[in-house]
Amino acid sequence: MSIIEKRLIQAEIFYQNIEPELAMSILNKVIPDSLAIESEIAEALTLKGITVYLAPYLSEDQQNYSTLIYFQKALKYDPHNMYILFNILNSFSCIDMMQENTQKNKGTFISAYDVLKNDLYDTLNKELKNDLHRFSSKYNEFREEGF
C-alpha cells in the first residue's frame, strides 16, 4: 500500500470519526503530492467535498460553501467515477443547492446524470440504478430550464 493510499484511508477515518480538521489537513497534503496518481487526487478532492459538507467552515472559499466545487475538480481527474458523479447529483438535493455556485452549475448535474445513464448504467447495481432514477425528475426539470 502506497503512502498516498494510507493517507487517504487515514483521512477517511478522521472524517468518519467526525474530526474534519484532521481529515482536511491530510487531504491538503495528498492533492499536491507529486506521488499521487489521478484517481487518488480525485478521491482526495471527493473526500474534501464530503468533509466540507460536514464542516462548511473548512471551505477554501468562505463566501461559498458549495461541495460541488470539489466534486467538479475531482471529476477532471476521474471523469467516469460513479461515486463522484453521484456526489454531484446529491449536491443538487441538499443544502448545497442554496449556494450560488451550485445554482449556476445545473449543467454539471445534467452532464453527470447523462454519463451515469448513458455510459455507466450497465455497471450500476440495482440500488444505484434506483438512486439514479430518484434524480430523473430534477434532471427533466433542469433540461426544461434550458441548462
Give the mean pLDDT of 38-44: 95
Question: Which residue did the predictor score with more confidence, 104 or 110?
Answer: 110
Nearest Cα residue to 108 out of 132, 131, 83, 91: 91
Euclidean distance between CA atoms 80 and 121, whole angstroms:
11
Which pTM does this prediction carry? 0.87
Q: What is the pLDDT of residue 62?
A: 66
pLDDT at 98 over 70: no
Mean pLDDT of 38-50: 95
Q: Which of 94, 96, 93 is nearest to 142 (CA)?
A: 93
